């Protein structure tokens, strides 16, 4: 049986095969994507040529260290694919993302891609979204008003302002993140729309009907690929 870190390493290496010569791709953020980047860095040294749009400063820094050429999304018409992680993967490849705080940029990059390929370990697979607190990115001004509306209007059990290193977490784009404990999200599309109607909400961690393929690694050594029925 493989440890969780070994599963992530094997899954990341497996997913590197999706990157082909000459592609311009999106590179996500997270612990499994870390191992994908390590593998892609090795392949660049062996002659693989591609460009990548990073979804966070963290990914940008690591990709640069590994010699992976970067591109500006504003100079790209469309990305061939994006490889990214997820915090929860439900049936139909509905996702919760944003545990690392990069959900805004991740969603913009995913929307610019022909394919969104999610890589994760088996612990991220769930029957229903919502056990993982849903990240909602908000502007700092009036964030408590957003918090109140999410609880009162949408029935959220608990909404916490994300903190890091003893202070308020601030995203790459200068926003705050509210972690919303819904417990269970029966209709992700409806909730995503309702959250966007609240003034001050920048983006949500609900990735609805965006993922095309999920690559999932298991402790017994299996790596499975699931394709969305809407792809």
Same domain, residue pair 145 and 182: yes
pLDDT band for position 230 (cuts 50, 70, 90): low
DSSP 165-177: TTEE---TTS-EE
In a domain, 231, yes or no: no
* Residues tagged in the binding site annotation: 29-32, 84-87, 97-100, 124
Residues in the chain: 231
Cα 121 from Cα 87, distance rounded (Å): 10
Tens digits of per-residue pLDDT, 137-169?
999 999 999 999 999 999 998 999 999 999 999
Residue 193, domain CATH: 3.30.70.260
Same domain, residue pair 103 and 172: no
- Domain assignment of residue 141, given as a range: 134-203
* Residues tagged in the binding site annotation for substrate: 29-32, 84-87, 97-100, 124
Same domain, residue pair 172 and 101: no
Same domain, residue pair 196 and 212: no
What is the average pLDDT value for the chain, to the nearest integer? 97
Cα 179 from Cα 111, distance rounded (Å): 23
Same domain, residue pair 189 and 118: no
Alpha carbon 126 to chain centroid, angstroms: 16
Residue 97, domain CATH: 3.40.50.1360
Number of domains in the chain: 2
Q: Is it the case that residue 229 has pLDDT exceeding 70?
A: yes
- The set of catalytic residues is 106
Instruction: Tell me the whole-structure pTM to 2 decimals.
Output: 0.95
Tens digits of per-residue pLDDT, 113-143?
999 999 999 999 999 999 999 999 999 999 9
Same domain, residue pair 12 and 107: yes
């Amino acid at each position: 049986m493989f440890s969780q870190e070994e599963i992530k390493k094997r899954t990341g290496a497996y997913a590197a095969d999706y990157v082909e010569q000459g592609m311009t791709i999106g590179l996500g953020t997270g612990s499994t994507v870390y191992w994908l980047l390590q593998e892609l860095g090795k392949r660049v040294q062996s002659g693989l040529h591609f460009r990548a749009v990073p979804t966070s400063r963290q990914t940008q820094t690591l990709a640069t260290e590994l010699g992976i050429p970067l591109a500006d999304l504003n100079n790209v018409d469309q990305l061939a694919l994006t490889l990214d992680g997820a915090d929860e993967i439900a049936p139909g490849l509905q996702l919760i993302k944003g545990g690392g705080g990069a959900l805004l940029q991740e969603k913009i990059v995913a929307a610019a891609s022909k394919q969104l390929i999610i890589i994760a370990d088996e612990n991220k697979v769930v029957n229903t979204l919502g056990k993982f607190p849903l990240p909602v990115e908000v502007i700092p001004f009036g964030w408590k008003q957003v918090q109140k509306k999410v609880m009162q209007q949408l029935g959220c059990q608990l909404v916490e302002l994300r903190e890091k290193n003893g202070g308020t977490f601030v995203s790459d784009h200068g926003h705050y993140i509210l972690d919303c404990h819904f417990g269970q999200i029966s209709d992700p599309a409806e909730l995503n729309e309702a959250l966007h109607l609240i003034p001050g909400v920048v983006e949500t961690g609900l990735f609805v009907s965006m993922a095309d393929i999920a690559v999932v690694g298991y402790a017994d050594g299996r790596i499975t690929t699931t394709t969305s029925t809407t792809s």
